[in-house]
Amino acid sequence: MSKYFLGVDVSTTASKALVIDVDGNVLVTKGNPHELSTPRPLWSEQDPENWWQAASKSIREVLQQIPAEQIAAIGLTGQMHGLTSLDRDGKPVRPAILWNDQRSTAQCAAITARVGEKHLYQHIGSILLAGFTAPKIMWVRENEPDVYQRIAHVLLPKDYIRYRLSGAFVADVADASGFGLMDIGKRDWSDEMLAAFDIPHSWLPELCESPEVCAYVSEEGAAATGLKVGTPIVGGAGDQPASGVGNGIVVKNQTSLTIGTSGVAYAASDRYAPEPDGRLHTFCGPMPGTWLHMGVMLSAAGGLRWLHDEFAPTLSYDELNRHAESVPRGSLGLLFAPYLTGERNPHPDPFARGAFVGFTLRHGLPHMIRAVMEGVAFGMRDQLELLRSLGVNPSEAVVAGGLVNSPVWKHLTTDIMGIPLYTVNTGESSAFGSAILAAVGAGAYPDVPTACARMIRRVETIQPDAQGAAEYERLYPAFRGLYPALKNTYAALAEFES
């Protein structure tokens, strides 16, 4: 059989293609960027054609080094929730509305009132949030009726790439959980939710499991990418479930903390048991018969990029790290609330905003840099505490994302979490996880845990410093008080943003 597996990741910033062998060795990775549009405050959009051009180019580039006939199967992953609306000819009718877009707050409130908050989150596994797909469909119906009338299909970002590769309208259950239209416990579309949202079932993709072969590369897909006609494509998963696979999070109490553009705490479960107040996402897992718990903060490493681009664009990130290292723990009493694009967990509030609290004349740019790093880490600690409230008690956790490139950020995050953190053998956990799913779909392994045990290897373990952990434990309650203290202020300020 062919011996290589291709993972394709349609992230917010780029489309990447990655090839691994049966032992999990990454042979080649290529990526091409996307453009992001923010036409109004709280809006976030991309052109699906831009995804396809970047993804197909990345695939062609990896196939310059790996023969197409040696690709046994393809796995797809990508940013979750993005509304990709197509007409009867499969053409986008408008730009995709992304996961971090906050325009559909009113639609979320209307559906929640109609269905009932508790019943809704027990059914769909989460409080309904503006980032989800279904309320965006409602927003289009109410604000762009001419566009709405043209819709015949709705897909998620990675599934648009599947459609261009194969002509199939398919989504895996892990990614489709973020529509807000599934009965998560039953792993299927919910007639009740479809009726509540008044969305036609015919618009929705067919559902499959993440390691299941659900499509094949068409002649058109092959011509655009260089792939072999008939190459199998598995369901894949959204970026966070795929990252869970790529980090080896496949049994209870295993936990990962991914600090990329957003921040995600992730744990696997063998039963459907949503958080009692809906403050976590509980979605279908990327393995049949499993579910996942996921806490999300909308701005994580993106906060440091914002600080760099706006206040220190001439400095390298190595220089930012050196500045942070020069500042003591607690940044001399400066705290950062990391809610630059609203927040999800544990504060589902699209009006939450970033804030520095505690400025004095002693503070400068180095203190701001470290305070941002600490604020993001405290936000991730909030996610970990939510997981612990569900009985997830990790003795250690995988850490992934841009944070792993910063020794000072890794160490202060370890101290704030109070448990050892470790890295694994890829920095592209979502694409890597989707390639593992492809390997299982191709029959190289009988199931995902077996594949992960063979393919994923621990690289570095960071132990918490006892004194550092104690100092941050004293500071954590002050951080937790920031959002309640500022909530009403955030709402008042939102009136001045348009």
Structure tokens at 272: 């459907």
- How many residues are present in the chain? 498
Q: CB–CB of 77/237 below 8 Å?
A: yes
3-class SS at 121? helix
Catalytic residue among 239, 349, 382, 415: 239
Q: CB–CB of 372/303 below 8 Å?
A: yes
* Exposure b/e, 352-380, CB count within 10 A at least 16 = b: bbbbbbeeeeebeebbbbbbbbbbbbbbb
Q: Which residues contact 470 (CB under 8 A, 6 or more apart)?
A: none
Cβ-based neighbour number of residue 222 at 10 Å: 17
Q: Which residues contact 322 (CB under 8 A, 6 or more apart)?
A: none
Cβ-based neighbour number of residue 38 at 10 Å: 12
3-class SS at 441? helix
- CA-nearest of 403, 399, 371, 394 to 461 is 399
Which pairing describes strands 354-357 and 335-338: parallel, antiparallel, or unpaired? antiparallel
Cβ-based neighbour number of residue 65 at 10 Å: 10
- The C-alpha atoms of residue 113 and residue 391 are separated, in whole angstroms, by 30
Active-site residue, 309 included: no
Residues involved in catalysis = 239
